[in-house]
């Protein structure tokens, strides 16, 4: 098969990804083979490629195929698989597999499993023509959603859904979403569906225009956020960028007894001038995925995504790094 293969860790400009032939996946007895239709391009893919995740043990070995938000058609079944069928359209998310035995797996919070395996970071991912995955970690894709749009639901969609749930957004809340990219444009929508008033903040006017299209009550540049918050102070701030300036902004503008939700890696400076809760979230559970996919199937979510040939993946990642992607880029084999 053809794939974008990571052979070494280096800045994306140095060409560490190579579009080349790679061995086809061989499925185990409890796995399925997907013919990939689309795979979203996540900023964390850049962190993997450029070596930022090595401190977390990812990738454990090279070469590896990145990509963790995948839609495809089942093209092969392991001998023990009975619950899905050849030709069925399914998605694969960030979490490729968990242990199924720990307290988190048994309580339905398998995203916190200490033995979780991450798609495209621990095992080969979706920047390829084929992908294998455990049969109990693939999810039926609603028929009324295109492959390109559906791929975005399996990382940014579910990550935003869980972030809004973890922030405990309620009707009447004032929510500020900082970072209106692939994940942030979903958080704006989920917060609105909860009945909140939403302020979108970004450094890009193009991203703010997207937020307006999606129903944000206000959309402002980060340079104007302090002044705006003087009379519109949020009680919930949802962070989708680890930039220190953005985190500092969140700590300045959030109301006392409010919540800062961190849906990205980052270090939060803690001040003692008031009382604020700092909450984190990570990816999403099976339950989150099913709930989010139901909302999407009902037409209650809008997706901003554009497909590009898989062979152009390096150029798309360069554009993502430069902040030139609005919404989500998706690679199509």
Would the pLDDT of 265 be above 90?
Answer: no
3 state SS of 186: helix
| Predicted confidence (pLDDT) per residue in 76-131, tens digit | 999 999 999 999 999 999 999 999 999 999 999 999 999 999 999 999 999 999 99
Residues 213 and 190 sit within 8 Å (Cβ to Cβ): no
SS3 helix, strand, coil % of the chain, rounded to 5? 30, 25, 45
Q: Locate the domains of the chain by residue range.
A: 2-155+284-332, 158-280
When pLDDT is cut at 50, 70 and 90, the band that residue 271 belongs to is low
Q: For 264-273, what is the mean pLDDT?
A: 68
Find all residues with CB under 8 Å of 159, minimum gap 6, and list them. 94, 183, 186, 263, 281, 283, 284
Same-fold call for 2-155+284-332 versus 158-280: no
**Of 89-93, 224-228, 301-305, which one has max mean pLDDT?**
89-93
When pLDDT is cut at 50, 70 and 90, the band that residue 274 belongs to is confident
DSSP state of 150: H
Q: For 229-256, what is the mean pLDDT?
A: 91
3 state SS of 103: helix
Report the CATH fold assignment for 2-155+284-332: Quinone Oxidoreductase; Chain A, domain 1 (3.90.180)
Would the pLDDT of 270 be above 80?
Answer: no
**Which of the two residues, 222 and 273, has the higher pLDDT score?**
222
Residue 244, pLDDT score? 87
Paired with 278 in beta bridges are 260
Report the CATH fold assignment for 158-280: Rossmann fold (3.40.50)
- The mean predicted confidence, pLDDT, of the chain is 95
Residue 264, pLDDT score? 81
**Which of the two residues, 309 and 274, has the higher pLDDT score?**
309
Residue 179, pLDDT score? 95
Would the pLDDT of 314 be above 90?
Answer: yes
Would the pLDDT of 272 be above 80?
Answer: no
Residue 230, pLDDT score? 87
| Predicted confidence (pLDDT) per residue in 170-206, tens digit | 999 999 999 998 999 999 999 999 999 999 999 999 9
When pLDDT is cut at 50, 70 and 90, the band that residue 242 belongs to is confident
Would the pLDDT of 231 be above 70?
Answer: yes
Residue 266, pLDDT score? 64
Report strand pairing: 276-280 vs 258-262.
Answer: parallel
**Which of the two residues, 265 and 317, has the higher pLDDT score?**
317
Q: What percent of the chain has pLDDT over 70?
A: 97
| Predicted confidence (pLDDT) per residue in 34-65, tens digit | 999 999 999 999 999 999 999 888 999 999 99
Residue 33: φ, ψ to 5°: -105, 130
| Predicted confidence (pLDDT) per residue in 10-33, tens digit | 999 999 999 999 999 999 999 999
């Amino acid at each position: 098969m053809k794939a974008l293969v990571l052979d070494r860790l280096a800045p994306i400009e140095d060409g560490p990804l190579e579009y080349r032939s790679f061995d086809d996946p061989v499925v185990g007895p409890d796995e399925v083979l997907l013919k990939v239709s689309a795979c979203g391009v996540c900023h964390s893919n850049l962190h993997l490629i450029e070596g930022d995740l090595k401190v977390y043990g990812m990738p454990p070995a090279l070469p590896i195929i990145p990509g963790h938000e995948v839609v495809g058609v089942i093209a092969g079944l392991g001998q023990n698989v009975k619950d899905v069928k050849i030709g069925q359209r399914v998605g694969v998310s960030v979490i490729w597999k968990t242990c199924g035995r720990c307290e988190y797996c048994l309580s339905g919070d398998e995203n916190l499993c200490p033995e979780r395996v991450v798609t495209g970071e621990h095992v080969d991912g979706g920047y390829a023509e084929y992908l294998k995955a455990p049969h109990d970690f693939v999810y039926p894709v609603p028929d009324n959603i295109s492959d390109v749009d559906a791929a975005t639901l399996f990382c940014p969609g579910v990550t935003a859904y869980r972030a809004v749930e973890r922030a405990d957004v309620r009707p009447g809340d004032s929510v500020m979403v900082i970072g209106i990219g692939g994940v942030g444009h979903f958080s704006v929508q989920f917060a609105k569906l909860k009945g909140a008033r939403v302020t979108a903040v970004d450094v890009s006017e193009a991203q703010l225009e997207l937020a307006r299209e999606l129903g944000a009550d206000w959309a402002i540049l980060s340079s104007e956020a302090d002044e705006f918050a003087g009379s519109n102070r949020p009680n919930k701030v949802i962070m989708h960028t680890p930039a220190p300036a953005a985190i500092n902004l969140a700590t300045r503008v959030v109301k006392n007894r409010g919540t800062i939700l961190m849906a990205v890696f980052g270090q939060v400076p803690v001040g003692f001038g008031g009382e604020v809760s700092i909450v984190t979230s990570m990816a999403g559970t099976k339950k989150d995925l099913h709930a989010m996919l139901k909302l999407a199937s009902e037409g209650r979510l809008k997706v901003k995504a554009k497909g590009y040939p898989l062979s152009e993946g390096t150029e798309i990642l360069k554009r993502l790094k430069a902040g030139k992607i609005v919404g989500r880029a998706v690679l199509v084999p």
